[in-house]
Amino acid sequence: MPGTASQFKPFCNMWADNISSSLASYGVAAPTVIATDPVASPAPSQQEFEKLVCIRFTCTGAAKGELLWVAEKAAALQVAQLLTGAGPTAAEPEHLSDEDRDAFAEFLRQAAGQTATSWKAELSSELTLTFQATAVPAPVTAHCSTFTLVAEKFASLTLRLYLDGDLSEGLSAIPIPPPPEPAETPAPPPPAESAEISVAPLQNEPLPANLGLVMDVELEATIRFGDREMLLRDIFGLMAGAVVELNQMVNEPAELHVAGRLVARGEVVVVDGNFGLRVTEVAALHERVAAINL
């Protein structure tokens, strides 16, 4: 197969870093995720595939192809329980519920979005990782990297990542920039004979005096993934199975609107089986107050 494992090892390392970050965000203390060098390996057979939990993504942009995450059911269940808040299960599950499978897929979707963002920041090229609802085995010829997850909250877990031939070749063709040279540290200036430094105390942004009168008023909060203008004929032509494409990429933050105004952005998560928003950016206080129209 074209390319060597060392040429796309950074891709696996980014997945490992972002899986570790996702585990920490769900309260897992001191998570460690180690990815092995990708090696040529056949994908699971059809018989093996039916006994595993498989999550498939397509990759577009600087490299194109497919990748497949594979986990034993017990490992997928432990990860899913972090999102659903369910208690640990001692026995190995023979059949995972649809909720558990969706939670495991959501965990990997979040890591995929972070990995695409990390790739762009470090290599200045675009990669888009798109979740596929139908999981099928990766091509027979593939590269596989084994991910070992270790943390205090659960026993060691193993996930496997398969990259098909097209994706392996595409990643191998992307040049890896050399690490930046360390900048020279300037010499500190000589101390002044005497100097007085005054620091103004930090002040919280003041609230309007009459805001307390409406603190218990309920407002409609909406999470928006994106939007699209449609012709009336297209709306009347919608039917079950139709796909409406939005103007927002999968790795871009969702928006929180209150009373029709944007007040925050964040990442979509699953909490106790329900969708939620982990806020990463909040509008200034006066902008949030303006949304109430006092």
HEC profile of the chain: CCCCHHHCHHHHHHHHHHHHHHHHHCCCCCCEEEECCCEEEECCCHHHHCCCEEEEEEEEECCCEEEEEEECHHHHHHHHHHHHCCCCCCCCCCCCCHHHHHHHHHHHHHHHHHHHHHHHHHHCCCEEEEEECCCCCCCCEEEEEEEEEECCCCCCEEEEEEEEHHHHHHHHCCCCCCCCCCCCCCCCCCCCCCCCCCCCCCCCCCCCCCHHHHCCCCCCEEEECCCCCCCHHHHHCCCCCCCCCCCCCCCCCEEEEECCEEEEEEEEEEECCEEEEEEEEECCHHHHHHCCCC
Q: Which of 149, 172, 195 is the last residue of a domain?
A: 172
Can you give the residue range of the structural domain that contains 104? Answer: 5-172
Model confidence at 142: pLDDT above 90: no
Angle between helices 73-84 and 98-123 (to 10 degrees): 80
Hunting for tokens 């040279």 — which residue is that?
Answer: 181
Residues 146 and 15 reside in one and the same domain: yes
Residues 30 and 162 reside in one and the same domain: yes
Q: Which of 119, 146, 172 is the last residue of a domain?
A: 172
Residues 164 and 47 reside in one and the same domain: yes
pLDDT at 185: 65
Model confidence at 82: pLDDT above 70: yes
pLDDT at 37: 86
The larger pLDDT score, comparing residue 32 to residue 154, is at 32
Note whether residue 206 is domain-resident: no
Residues 244 and 109 reside in one and the same domain: no
Q: Are 8 and 39 in contact (CB under 8 A)?
A: no
Residues 149 and 83 reside in one and the same domain: yes
- Provide the number of structural domains found in the chain: 2
Residues 24 and 134 reside in one and the same domain: yes
Angle between helices 98-123 and 9-25 (to 10 degrees): 130
What is the spatial distance between Cα 202 and Cα 150, in angstroms, rounded to a whole number?
41
Residues 33 and 80 reside in one and the same domain: yes
What is the spatial distance between Cα 257 and Cα 250, in angstroms, rounded to a whole number?
19
- Exposed, middle or buried by CB within 10 Å (0-12, 13-18, 19+), for 113? buried
Model confidence at 90: pLDDT above 60: no
Residues 157 and 79 reside in one and the same domain: yes
pLDDT at 91: 46
Mean pLDDT (the chain, rounded): 77
Give the contacts of 180 (CB within 8 A, at least 6 positions apart). none
What is the spatial distance between Cα 158 and Cα 52, in angstroms, rounded to a whole number?
12
Residues 219 and 90 reside in one and the same domain: no
Note whether residue 195 is domain-resident: no
pLDDT in tens, 164-194: 888 888 888 877 666 666 666 666 666 555 4
Residues 10 and 150 reside in one and the same domain: yes
Question: Most confidently modeled of 5-14, 183-192, 198-207, 271-280?
Answer: 271-280
Q: Tokens in use for 261?
A: 């105004």
Q: What percent of the chain has pLDDT over 90?
A: 11
pLDDT at 195: 41
Model confidence at 197: pLDDT above 70: no
Residues 125 and 266 reside in one and the same domain: no
Residues 224 and 157 reside in one and the same domain: no
**Distance from the Cα of residue 280 to its chain's centroid:** 13
- What's 29's domain CATH number? 3.40.1550.10
Model confidence at 83: pLDDT above 70: yes
pLDDT at 239: 81
Q: Which of 172, 199, 224 is the last residue of a domain?
A: 172
The larger pLDDT score, comparing residue 236 to residue 203, is at 236
Q: What percent of the chain has pLDDT over 70?
A: 73
pLDDT at 248: 80
When pLDDT is cut at 50, 70 and 90, the band that residue 93 belongs to is low
Note whether residue 165 is domain-resident: yes
pTM value is 0.59
